[in-house]
Amino acid sequence: MATATQIANLAKARAARKANKGIPRLKSVPSDFGYTDNIYKVEKVGHRFHLLDTQGEVVDVKINSITRKRAHTQGKAVRGFKTKTGKETYRLVDMNQYDMMVQPLKSEGVVTASENPTTHEGILKVIHEDSLKLKPRELVISDLKWKYLVRSAVRARNIMMTGPAGCGKTMAAKYLVQGLKRPDFYFNLGSTQDPRASLIGNTQFNKERGTYFSESAFVKAITTPNAIILLDEISRAHPDAWNILMTVLDQGQRYLRLDEAEGSPIVKVAEGVTFIATANIGNQYTATRVMDRAINDRFVTIEMDVLNAEQEFGLLQLMYPGVKEEDIKAIAEIASHTREVSRDEVGKLSNMISTRASVEMASLVYDGFNLMEAAEVAILPFFSQDGGMESERTYVKQLIQKYVKTTDEQLFTTPKDATTDEKQIVW
C-alpha cells in the first residue's frame, strides 16, 4: 500500500503534467550545431574535382562529385554543417569564408594582386621562401627553375619558356599568374595573321564617328601595372610581330609606337609588367621560324625539362588517382621510352610522346577506354606510317603491345594461323 508521502508525490506529478499539457517539449540541440571548421576549396584537375584544405593540401573527404562540380562552377567553397541530429553535411558557402581560414602563404613583402615587394629583403623572401609554397603539385619543374621563374616575374624580366610541345610551358606560366595573383593577358602569336592589327590596332570607319583609330587589346595589356602578359608560340610569329615587339621588350626603352593612330603617339609599358613567351625550338617543328637574335637577347630563358618515367607516373597518378596503377605505370613507361629513343642517334623515332599526350591517354583510360584504344586515338596519329612494318607507328604499336594485358590480346591479335601455327598481329 502506498504511503501518504508517495500519494502526495503522485498527485503533484499529475498536476504538473496537466499544467504543461499542450506545451511543446523542446528537443535538446547539440552544442556544436551549425557550421564547422571543415572547409574546402574545389580545384579541377583533368576530369576530377579535388578538395583543398586550408593548408592547400589535397584531401580525401566524402563529398560527392555533384557537390564538388557545383562548387567549382559557382566559385564557392564547401563547408561542413552539423545538423540538430549531430550529422555532418556539406553546404556551399562564399569563397571568402575559405580565404579567411586559409593559413596565410604571403606575409610582408610577398607579392599580391595589389602589393609588390619594394625592398631587396622582401624580394629575397618572395624568391627563396614563399615561391615554393606557391608551387603547385601538378606542375613538374625543379625548385631551382621555379624560383628563377618567380624571381624573373618579380623583377619584371622578359621570360622565354622553351622545350618540346606538351612539356608544360604554358601551364607553368598560368600557375605563376595564379600564385602571384597578378592581372594577366594572353596572346597567341602563332595564330596572328595581322600582327599590326593585333599588337597596335587599326583604323576603322562608321557613319557616326567617321574614320577613327581603334587600339588593340595588347595596348591595354601593356598599360596595366604589374600585369603578366603571355606571348604564346612566339617562335611561330610573323617577323612583323618581332619588329613591333623590339622596343616593347627592350629594358632600356619599353614603349610601343601606335603608327596607325594620328600623330603616332608612344605608349609606355607600365611599371612591373612581365612578358612570358613560349617557344618550340627544333627542326621537328616545321611551322616555327629561326628567331631573331635581337629578340632572343631580350629574354631570360627557362628550359622546361622532359619528364622521366618516375616523374610522369607521379603526375598521372596525382591527376587520375582512380586509374589502376599498372595502367598509369604503362603509360608513363611508354612515353619515357619514346623520349629516349627519339634522342638516340639510331633514329628509330623522330617524334616522342609529350606529357600532354600521355595525360590525354590517361584521361581516356579513366573514361573507360582500354590501353590500346586510348593509344590508338591519343598517341599513334603523331607517328608516321611510312615504311610499312618498319614505320615509326608500327614500332610504337609493338611497344604498347607489351603492356596490354593478356586478357585483352584478342583486341589486336588473330587466332593462330593454321599453316604457320603462329599468331598474326592485326593493326
Q: What is the CATH number of the domain that holds 155?
A: 3.40.50.300
Q: Are residues 194 and 287 in the same domain?
A: yes
CA atoms within 13 A on the CB side of 371: 27
CA distance 168 to 303: 10
Position 368 scores a pLDDT of 92
Backbone angles phi, psi at 310, to 5 degrees: -65, -45
Instruction: Please answer whether residues 233 and 279 qualify as being in contact, where contact means their C-beta atoms are separated by less than 8 angstroms.
Output: yes
Position 28 scores a pLDDT of 47
Residue 366: pLDDT band by 50, 70, 90 thresholds? very high
- Residue written as grid cell 599453316: 419
CA distance 156 to 164: 25
Instruction: Please answer whether residues 284 and 351 qualify as being in contact, where contact means their C-beta atoms are separated by less than 8 angstroms.
Output: yes
Q: Are residues 244 and 340 in the same domain?
A: no
Q: What residues have CB less than 8 Å from 205, skipping those under 6 apart? A: 211, 212
Instruction: Answer whether residue 247 shows pLDDT above 70.
Output: yes
Q: Are residues 82 and 49 in the same domain?
A: yes
Torsion of CA 241, 247, 249, 254, to 10 degrees: -140
> Which domain-ending residue is among 53, 71, 101?
101
Q: Are residues 298 and 313 in the same domain?
A: no
Query: If you average pLDDT over every residue of the chain, what do you get?
Result: 79
Instruction: Please answer whether residues 174 and 167 qualify as being in contact, where contact means their C-beta atoms are separated by less than 8 angstroms.
Output: no
Q: SS3 for 66?
A: helix
Q: Are residues 253 and 334 in the same domain?
A: no
Position 330 scores a pLDDT of 93
Position 7 scores a pLDDT of 61
Residue 250 included in any domain: yes
Position 423 scores a pLDDT of 41
Q: Are residues 62 and 189 in the same domain?
A: no
Helix H segments across 250-380? 293-296, 309-319, 325-342, 355-366, 371-378
CA distance 234 to 159: 12
- Among 130-139, 212-221, 373-382, 413-422, name the one with the lowest average pLDDT: 413-422
Residue 1 included in any domain: no
Residue 54: pLDDT band by 50, 70, 90 thresholds? confident
Q: SS3 for 188?
A: strand
> Which domain-ending residue is among 268, 288, 303?
303
Is residue 107 exposed (0-12), middle (13-18) or buried (19+ Cβ within 10 Å)? exposed
Residue 19 included in any domain: no
Q: Are residues 135 and 87 in the same domain?
A: no
Q: Are residues 358 and 285 in the same domain?
A: no
Question: How many domains, in total, are found in the chain?
Answer: 3
Q: How far is CA 149 from the centre of its chain?
A: 16
Instruction: Please answer whether residues 92 and 76 qualify as being in contact, where contact means their C-beta atoms are separated by less than 8 angstroms.
Output: yes
Position 246 scores a pLDDT of 92
Between the CA of residue 82 and those of 185, 200, 205, what are the distances in Å?
43, 57, 63
> Which domain-ending residue is among 278, 303, 328?
303
Work out the percent of the chain whose per-residue pLDDT is above 70.
Answer: 78
Instruction: Answer whether residue 148 shows pLDDT above 90.
Output: yes
Residue 7 included in any domain: no
Q: Are residues 299 and 314 in the same domain?
A: no
Instruction: Answer whether residue 222 shows pLDDT above 90.
Output: yes
Give the type of residue at 407. Answer: T
Instruction: Answer whether residue 325 shows pLDDT above 60.
Output: yes
CA distance 401 to 168: 28
Position 365 scores a pLDDT of 92
Which domain covers residue 314, as residue numbers? 309-411
Q: Are residues 92 and 195 in the same domain?
A: no
Position 277 scores a pLDDT of 92
Element at 61 (helix H, strand E)? none
Q: How many CB atoms lie within 10 A of CB 220?
A: 12
Q: Are residues 88 and 228 in the same domain?
A: no
Q: Are residues 299 and 160 in the same domain?
A: yes
